């Protein structure tokens, strides 16, 4: 059960080669001539005409997956406008898809619909040999010396940013976190110093992100979010093309400077265009995900005052005003909190892949040329793996209980396999540093009328009410 049957490589040999070489014209030819597979033989329904299951997915994808699972089991089909998909749920499915040992799954052909022309040539949409080569190079920019440089930049920015928040009254915490991370990102990732320049780039970046959710993505619709996003991309492109030569000449501590120094095994540097595309995507991959994680953590801390005090004591026990690299693992309880928040509220609740070949999974025939979807959210609440999964319980991740260790693929907030999040460590550093400056100086609380975390999981997990929280100076 669960292991894929090897299907003969037929016309797919060509697409494998095109993906491995990132030969986009050849990939596009394949896309044009290859119809999506029919999935009607799989368990499930098509939902309502045209919209399929879209309404239920947008309303509460978790509840919808639970219902589908209860009725049809771990494999079922779904429909939303322009997209049919097979859901494969549970750790076994996660392992099959993320490990991708048989090379069945393509990232490009799945993520392309979301990223097309907005985040071109990014790492997540690359496959096989081409992905491996690019990831190998980019990895060096996420090692200790680089992160230490970023920490120097981030410590004062996060501290001052938090201190500028209004205290003593309820404020939309998610929006404040978002702006703080955008400003920090402009400096840490791009090396911008002037505030008005950061604002301009942040606006452009926000427009690109909004455009990914435009279902039509048509250039002709001049007032659409997509066209706004394309203009935003041009603003970032102009900035990069002007600044890359400067960073090559004089490197700073920012990520753009790091990317300018990266070399492949033959000593060749990335081209200006490659740097531009990689950095624009990293901005995207880093930003909303971390905003989502910090929003969830703030809610859990506002709800659990005693636990918040324990974290505060942990921060004080470091006896320092600025977090250093070696302090990060010492914030153990904060680490457990981060893990638990990402279990309950994973930023990316579902992840798509495209099948290049037929395979069998749990007695079902899954055809080539369809989208399969795996879900962190579903797996993170499976009662077979988690005690009382709806309860906030950071100690479930402690060494003694190690609830997350029953199956290597039961806990996947950062994905898994070859495409596992490249910024995982960076995000831990940033989240802990944020909490370090916040909790040492402020108490976070919520109104008694706020009885639950009001959030949506699609497209990313975000509070729907801006997260009204109160911060009081200690």
Q: Which of 151, 180, 286, 435 binds ligand HEM (CB under 6 A)?
A: 286
**Complex with ligand HEM: residue 59 or 132, whichever CB lies closer:** 132
Nearest approach in angstroms of CB 90 to ligand HEM is 17
Contact 84/35 with Cβ under 8 angstroms? no
Nearest approach in angstroms of CB 193 to ligand HEM is 20
Nearest one of 135, 148, 152, 154 to 262, comparing CA atoms: 135
Name residues contacting ligand HEM, limited to 179-238 (CB under 6 A).
none
Nearest approach in angstroms of CB 224 to ligand HEM is 26
Nearest approach in angstroms of CB 48 to ligand HEM is 28
Q: Which of 53, 357, 419, 432 binds ligand HEM (CB under 6 A)?
A: 419
Nearest approach in angstroms of CB 341 to ligand HEM is 9
Residue with nearest beta carbon to ligand HEM? 423
Nearest approach in angstroms of CB 171 to ligand HEM is 22
Question: By three-state DSSP, how is residue 99 classified?
Answer: helix
DSSP 116: T
Contact 211/229 with Cβ under 8 angstroms? yes
Question: By three-state DSSP, how is residue 299 classified?
Answer: helix
Contact 207/232 with Cβ under 8 angstroms? yes
Block residue for tokens 């030569």: 245
**Complex with ligand HEM: residue 342 or 469, whichever CB lies closer:** 342
Q: Which of 186, 347, 366, 435 binds ligand HEM (CB under 6 A)?
A: 347
Spatial distance between the Cα atoms of 179 and 169, rounded to a whole number of angstroms: 19
Nearest approach in angstroms of CB 420 to ligand HEM is 7
Q: What are phi and psi of 194, to 5 degrees?
A: -80, 135
Name residues contacting ligand HEM, limited to 76-105 (CB under 6 A).
none
Buried b (16+ CB within 10 A) or exposed e, 353-385: bbbbbbbebbebebbbbbbbbbbbbbbbbeeeb
Q: Are strands 371-375 and 83-88 parallel, antiparallel or unpaired?
A: parallel
User: What residues have CB less than 8 Å from 258, skipping those under 6 apart?
Assistant: 140, 141, 146, 149, 251
**How buried is residue 109: exposed, middle or buried, by Cβ count under 10 Å (0-12/13-18/19+)?**
buried
Tell me the torsion sign for CA atoms 214, 216, 218, 222.
Answer: negative
Q: Which of 351, 371, 438, 444 binds ligand HEM (CB under 6 A)?
A: 351
Q: Which of 118, 285, 331, 366 binds ligand HEM (CB under 6 A)?
A: 285
**Complex with ligand HEM: residue 159 or 419, whichever CB lies closer:** 419
**Complex with ligand HEM: residue 103 or 423, whichever CB lies closer:** 423
Nearest 10 degrees: Cα torsion 364, 367, 372, 374: 30
Spatial distance between the Cα atoms of 271 and 47, rounded to a whole number of angstroms: 47
**Complex with ligand HEM: residue 85 or 290, whichever CB lies closer:** 290
Residue 421 as a binder of ligand HEM (CB under 6 A): the answer is: yes
Residue 415 as a binder of ligand HEM (CB under 6 A): the answer is: yes
Spatial distance between the Cα atoms of 118 and 107, rounded to a whole number of angstroms: 16
Residue 335 as a binder of ligand HEM (CB under 6 A): the answer is: no
Residue 423 as a binder of ligand HEM (CB under 6 A): the answer is: yes
Nearest approach in angstroms of CB 373 to ligand HEM is 10
The alpha helices in 12-77, defined as continuous H runs, are: 12-20, 24-33, 54-72
Residue 339 as a binder of ligand HEM (CB under 6 A): the answer is: no
Question: By three-state DSSP, how is residue 78 classified?
Answer: strand
**Complex with ligand HEM: residue 47 or 352, whichever CB lies closer:** 352
Residue 135 as a binder of ligand HEM (CB under 6 A): the answer is: yes
Q: Total residues contacting ligand HEM (rule CB under 6 A)?
A: 22
Residue 256 as a binder of ligand HEM (CB under 6 A): the answer is: no
Pick the stretch among 32-40, 65-73, 158-166, 419-427 that binds ligand HEM (CB under 6 A): 419-427
**Complex with ligand HEM: residue 277 or 327, whichever CB lies closer:** 277
Pick the stretch among 11-19, 218-226, 299-307, 342-350 that binds ligand HEM (CB under 6 A): 342-350
| Interacting residue ranges for ligand HEM, rule: CB under 6 A | 123-124, 135, 282, 285-286, 289-290, 293, 342, 347-348, 351, 413-415, 419, 421-423, 426-427
């Amino acid at each position: 059960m669960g292991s894929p049957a090897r299907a003969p490589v037929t016309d797919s040999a060509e697409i494998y080669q095109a993906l491995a070489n990132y030969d986009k014209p050849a990939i596009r030819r394949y896309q044009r001539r290859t119809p999506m597979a029919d999935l009607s033989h799989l368990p499930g329904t098509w939902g309502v005409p045209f919209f399929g299951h879209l309404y239920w997915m947008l309303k509460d994808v978790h509840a919808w997956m639970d219902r589908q699972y209860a009725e049809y089991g771990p494999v079922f089909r779904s429909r939303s406008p322009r997209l049919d998909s097979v859901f494969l749920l549970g750790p076994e499915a996660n392992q099959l898809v993320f490990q991708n040992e048989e090379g069945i799954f393509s990232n490009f052909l799945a993520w392309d619909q979301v990223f097309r022309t907005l985040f071109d040539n990014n790492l997540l949409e690359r496959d096989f040999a081409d992905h491996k080569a690019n990831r190998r190079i980019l990895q060096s920019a996420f090692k200790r010396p680089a992160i230490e440089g970023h920490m120097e930049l981030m410590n004062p920015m996060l501290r001052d940013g938090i201190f500028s928040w209004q205290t003593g009254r309820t404020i939309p915490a998610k929006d404040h976190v978002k702006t703080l991370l955008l400003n920090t990102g402009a400096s840490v990732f791009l090396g911008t110093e002037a505030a008005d320049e950061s604002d301009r780039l942040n606006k452009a970046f926000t427009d690109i992100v909004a455009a990914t959710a435009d279902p039509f993505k048509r250039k002709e619709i001049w007032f659409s979010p997509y066209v706004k996003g394309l203009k935003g991309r041009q603003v970032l492109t102009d900035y990069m093309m002007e600044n890359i030569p400067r960073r090559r000449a004089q490197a700073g501590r920012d990520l753009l400077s790091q990317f300018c120094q990266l070399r492949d095994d033959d000593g060749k540097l990335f081209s200006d265009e490659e740097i531009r595309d990689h950095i624009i995507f990293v901005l995207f991959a880093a930003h909303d995900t971390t905003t989502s994680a910090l929003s969830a953590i703030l809610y859990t801390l506002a709800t659990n005052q005693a636990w918040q005090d324990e974290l505060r004591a942990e921060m004080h026990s470091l006896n320092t005003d600025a977090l250093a690299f070696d302090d990060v693992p010492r914030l153990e309880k904060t680490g457990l909190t981060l893990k638990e928040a990402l279990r309950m509220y994973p930023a990316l609740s579902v992840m798509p892949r495209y099948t290049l070949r037929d395979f069998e999974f749990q007695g079902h025939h899954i055809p080539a040329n369809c989208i399969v979807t795996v879900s962190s959210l579903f797996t993170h609440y499976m009662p077979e793996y988690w005690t009382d999964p709806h309860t906030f319980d950071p100690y479930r991740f402690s060494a003694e209980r190690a609830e997350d260790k029953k199956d290597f693929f039961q806990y996947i907030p950062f994905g898994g396999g070859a495409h596992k999040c490249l910024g995982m460590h960076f995000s831990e550093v940033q989240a802990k540093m944020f909490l370090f400056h916040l909790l040492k100086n402020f108490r976070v609380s919520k109104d008694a009328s706020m009885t639950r975390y009001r959030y949506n999981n699609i497209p990313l997990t975000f509070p729907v009410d801006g997260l009204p929280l109160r911060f009081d100076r200690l």
